[in-house]
Structure 1
Amino acid sequence: MIGITREDGPSKKRDAAYDLVKQLLMAGQMRPGKHLVVQELADLLQIGVTPLRDALVRLSAEGFLSREDTYGFSTKEMRVEEQRQILELCDITLSAGLRIAGDRMSQEVRAALTELQDVPGRTVEDALVLAGHVRDLYVDVGRAAGNEIMVNLSRVLLDRSHLVRMLDLQMDDAGARTIEDLRIIGIAMSRGDPERAVAATKAILGRRIERLNVLVKEANFIASQATFP
């Protein structure tokens, strides 16, 4: 059984329910096209119905779930065009952020990017580490640009494309090439050259878009094999 054992107030219970269901969706552990019966899901996850329903409303607003009616929700099959639009929006958001941020990106993130050395071994664990660097980059760029809306939007975009990104980083030499581009971004921002950093981000996202048909097909296959809910 998966459950939330903390005794928190309503807001924290909603946040905990949101995080739990989102993690399942991001990892492809919920079958697509599945109508969610709130009471049954609450019993399975050992969550209260009210915080769970609030979490499902939030997830549907962010595009993780489909809203069927006032209280109905269902899981979604990943679609190529939707993922393409997410990646294109990532490109616009990050490019604008890098240009605005200039040298205000934190020294710690710049150093972490420029010091990347190890090439992923195409494992889930390696991809998770590398995906963490990507997430740090987006969040730090948004904060350096002084734009919390950009920070929050970046988080949603990254989470909705999480499984595609993880699969991409494990494909062929994608991890090694992404590491090299992340190093270029770190060096470029340290030298006050945001345009070079923008070019490197476009290279990462461009390669992913080229493989999108394969990546989405694999992501949907993984989710279709899920035994939950």
Structure 2
Amino acid sequence: MTTAPREDVPTRKSDAAYETLKGLVLNGRIRPGRHLVLYDLAEHLKIGETPLRDAMLRLATEGLLARDNSSGFSTKEFRVDEQRQILELCDLMLTHAVLNAGDRVSGQLLTDLAELENAPAATIEEAAQLAGRIRDMYLEIARAAGNDVLRDQCRVMVDRSHMVRMLDLQIGESGRHTIDDLREFGVAMAAREVEQAVASVKAILGRRIDRLPLLVKEANFLASDASFP
């Protein structure tokens, strides 16, 4: 008796390729403006070309890759105007999420906020890890708001601002202020003080917008020195 092939295998491979490539893009491991050669990238990552192309299409849809005129893909340079628009959208979405999350935010999230370590991070690796934790917290808030569209769009915007958030946590005093505001946010959410929670989110994003020229310059500089072949 012949067993029929599992239909979900291609999807699992595409999802794995997506997560791998997204991680490289988010953390600046591939130079901005670099054309991605499908065959070379597949060989290096040991991923099939079909799932890798699916991953590229998905990342292009989310704005993390650019489509070339040749129907290929390339990484995007960071731009101040684009990042400002992304952060302004994050402000709107996260404010809406906080106002509608009510008491559905998990107790574990509030515990994680209280236990955040002081910033700025000592290394870029620590900053990347901390930025990832904050990303997960933002998405948990969006999930708690009970709106799937909001959650999905929030994920896209938070991912597209990952590099800027990561550097913000590492450079200067802003990282320390961000952690302080996140702790205050956790306390406010636990006490159901929604206005204070919203004020904390706005303070974080407002400072980041003010620092965008520096952060974008550093993001392009860091990524331009990427070691990915």
Cα offset for 1:227? 3.7
1:38–1:119 distance in 2 versus 1, CA, 3 Å: closer
| Corresponding position of 1:174 | 174
| Corresponding position of 2:195 | 195
| Corresponding position of 1:25 | 25
1:34–1:117 distance in 2 versus 1, CA, 3 Å: closer
Alignment of 1:123-202 (within 5 A): 123-202=123-202
| Corresponding position of 1:4 | none
Cα distance in structure 1, aligned partners of 2:159 and 2:83:
11
Q: Tell whether 2:216 aligns with 1:216.
A: yes
| Corresponding position of 2:76 | 76
- What secondary structure is seen at the aligned counterpart in 2 of 1:32? coil
Cα distance in structure 1, aligned partners of 2:105 and 2:184:
14
Cα offset for 1:115? 4.2
C-alpha contact 2:119 2:169 (8 A) present in aligned 1? no
| Corresponding position of 1:36 | 36
The CA deviation string for residues 20-68 of structure 1, in whole angstroms up to 9 with x for no partner, is: 1111111111112222221222122221111111111001110011112
Residue segments in structure 2 that go unaligned for 5+ positions in a row = 1-7
Mean alpha-carbon deviation: is it higher for 9-18 or for 157-166?
157-166
The number of residues matched between the two structures is: 222
1:44–1:130 distance in 2 versus 1, CA, 3 Å: closer
TM-score normalised by L of structure 1:
0.89
C-alpha contact 1:26 1:159 (8 A) present in aligned 2? yes
Mean alpha-carbon deviation: is it higher for 175-184 or for 61-70?
61-70
Cα distance in structure 1, aligned partners of 2:115 and 2:50:
46
1:41–1:89 distance in 2 versus 1, CA, 3 Å: same
- What secondary structure is seen at the aligned counterpart in 2 of 1:103? coil
Root-mean-square deviation (CA, aligned residues, Å) is 1.8
The CA deviation string for residues 68-127 of structure 1, in whole angstroms up to 9 with x for no partner, is: 247311111111111111111110010000001122211111232234464444333442
Cα distance in structure 1, aligned partners of 2:127 and 2:54:
31
C-alpha contact 2:168 2:174 (8 A) present in aligned 1? yes
TM-score normalised by L of structure 2:
0.89
Cα distance in structure 2, aligned partners of 1:78 and 1:120:
22
Instruction: Give the aligned residue type for 1:31.
Output: R
| Corresponding position of 2:4 | none
Cα offset for 1:185? 0.8
Residue segments in structure 1 that go unaligned for 5+ positions in a row = 1-7
Cα distance in structure 2, aligned partners of 1:102 and 1:121:
31
| Corresponding position of 2:63 | 63
The CA deviation string for residues 114-156 of structure 1, in whole angstroms up to 9 with x for no partner, is: 3446444433344244324422321221121111222222222
